[in-house]
Amino acid sequence: MTQPLIRFQDVTKRYGHLTVLDNFCFDVTPGEKVTLIGPSGSGKSTVLRILMTLEPFQEGTLHLAGMSYHQDNGRGRFLASEAHLRQIRTHVGMVFQSFNLFPHMTVLRNVVEAPTRVLGLGRAEAECRGVDLLRMVGLSEKKDYYPSQLSGGQQQRVAIARALAMRPRVLLFDEPTSALDPQLVGEVLGVIRDLAHEHDLTMLLVTHEMRFAREVSDRVCFFDKGRICEQGKPEDIFSAPKEDRTKEFLGSIL
């Protein structure tokens, strides 16, 4: 059996008195494309933020690409050293709702900054790869522009190229189109769709775009109150959901 690339093992995450994940268990195999759907506040983004090591958790263990880190006896601090966390982070890229590009850097600089600083790539090599990645997202001709000169959809495509430049094993997307004008959503989803179909990258997506989730996912997980209430192939979840909560949720948005 294929070993999981990601394993949440009995992870509990609290914010004060609010328990967001309660003994959460979740495996993702290498190359799998998994979409998390569910009501607002059900804990989907928290899963991504924990994977990105942006959030400590109180109990359980996270395994990622053969490394792991643990709970801190309920205190919710990272037990791992900063160096260990950095090492885990190099395996994970994240694309946020709000692009988060460096406004004072050109598009190409945004893409090459982390590979040169963190991975130690030479500038020429990083730039060459950066231009290739910008070509892949359809933006090589904008390499010398600044983010403020781009549309939201273009900025998000740069953010995707920037995440890929670190050669992550896992790419996380947290509602990547929810900050975009409706007419710009399609171009970003198109880039992600191509990535999903053409690369063996492991991808986890939180999205409210159900048609898109159906097209790109190997597995769809319906989240409710910090647990996976139902999961399966997209055609099963969207066409024949079994759980009442899933039916209710899909009925309210489709």
Ligand X SMILES: Nc1ncnc2c1ncn2[C@@H]1O[C@H](COP(=O)(O)OP(=O)(O)OP(=O)(O)O)[C@@H](O)[C@H]1O
Q: Which amino acid is at 224?
A: D
Chain residues binding ligand X by CB under 6 A are 15, 18, 20, 38, 40-46, 206
Q: Are 153 and 185 in contact (CB under 8 A)?
A: yes
The DSSP-derived string for 191-238 is HHHHHHHH---EEEEE-S-HHHHHHH-SEEEEEETTEEEEEE-HHHHH
Q: Which is nearer to ligand X, 41 or 74 (CB)?
A: 41
Q: Which is nearer to ligand X, 44 or 129 (CB)?
A: 44
Q: Which is nearer to ligand X, 147 or 238 (CB)?
A: 238
Q: Which is nearer to ligand X, 7 or 14 (CB)?
A: 14
Residue listed under structure tokens 């989730």: 213
* Minimum distance, C-beta of residue 135 to ligand X, in the bound complex (Å): 32
* Minimum distance, C-beta of residue 43 to ligand X, in the bound complex (Å): 4
* Minimum distance, C-beta of residue 9 to ligand X, in the bound complex (Å): 19
* Minimum distance, C-beta of residue 220 to ligand X, in the bound complex (Å): 14
Region label for 169, one of left (φ > 0), alpha (ψ between -120 and 50) or beta (otherwise): alpha
Q: Cα angle vertex 133, ends 143, 29, to 5°? A: 150
Burial of 203 (0-12, 13-18, 19+ CB in 10 A): buried
* Minimum distance, C-beta of residue 130 to ligand X, in the bound complex (Å): 30
Q: Which is nearer to ligand X, 154 or 207 (CB)?
A: 207
